[in-house]
């Protein structure tokens, strides 16, 4: 009888430990080292009506991990933070969508309109969303400058 409970305990422990190991050990390694990056930049115009046109659409491999590293090196935004954003009345702006993958599996999608405060929203497959500020201060380049250096993707105006 005692051996039976021991076997049940081992099975139950394995059912708990294995998913936790995947979540906390394997998933971060998988997500933090993408091997593919697809960038789509759309120019959007607000006058006289909303118009959209794709101006950049490229796939990259060697640049995927460095771009992702630059992205998450920005200031991570906390939902409790209070932000003061200058309101910029732009009639033309860029919308960015960066899709990161590893072994053909999407690991993260980052989007931003790159206007006003220009936060970047990063969504992960399990429903987690994180926000980052793309402006790093006077002495540090913005994420957009790094993205341009690594991929030649257009930079938003004024940055």
Task: Say how far apart CA 152 and CA 119 lie, in whole Å.
Answer: 20
Contacts of 58 (CB under 8 A, 6+ apart): 38, 39, 151, 153
The model carries a pTM of: 0.76
Q: Above 70 in pLDDT, residue 84?
A: no
Task: Say how far apart CA 13 and CA 50 lie, in whole Å.
Answer: 55
Structure confidence by residue, pLDDT tens digits, 61-77: 999 999 999 888 877 77
- Give residue 86's pLDDT: 58
Task: Say how far apart CA 46 and CA 93 lie, in whole Å.
Answer: 9
Summarize the confidence of residues 125-153 as an average pLDDT: 80
Rg (CA), the chain: 20
Task: Say how far apart CA 133 and CA 99 lie, in whole Å.
Answer: 18
Indicate the domain borders of the chain: 1-32, 34-151
- Greatest mean pLDDT among 6-15, 17-26, 34-43 lies in 34-43
More confident residue, 48 or 100: 100
More confident residue, 85 or 51: 51
Q: Above 50 in pLDDT, residue 23?
A: no
Structure confidence by residue, pLDDT tens digits, 24-48: 444 555 567 899 999 999 998 877 7
- Write out the two tokens for 75: 């200031």
- Write out the two tokens for 33: 């080292």
* 94 contacts 42 by C-beta, under 8 angstroms: yes
């Amino acid at each position: 009888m005692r051996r039976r409970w021991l076997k049940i305990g081992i099975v139950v422990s394995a059912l708990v430990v294995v998913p936790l190991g995947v979540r906390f050990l394997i998933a971060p390694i998988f997500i933090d080292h993408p091997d593919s990056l697809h960038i789509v930049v759309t120019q959007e115009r607000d006058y006289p009506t909303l118009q959209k046109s794709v101006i950049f659409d490229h796939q990259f491999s060697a640049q995927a991990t460095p771009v992702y590293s630059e992205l998450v090196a920005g200031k991570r935004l906390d939902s409790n933070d209070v932000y003061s954003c200058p309101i910029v009345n732009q009639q033309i702006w860029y919308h960015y969508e960066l899709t990161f993958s590893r072994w053909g599996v999407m690991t993260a999608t980052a989007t931003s309109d790159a206007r006003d405060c220009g936060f970047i929203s990063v969504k992960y497959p399990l429903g987690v969303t994180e926000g980052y500020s793309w402006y790093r201060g006077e002495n540090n380049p913005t994420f957009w400058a790094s993205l341009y250096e690594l991929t030649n993707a257009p930079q938003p105006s004024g940055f």
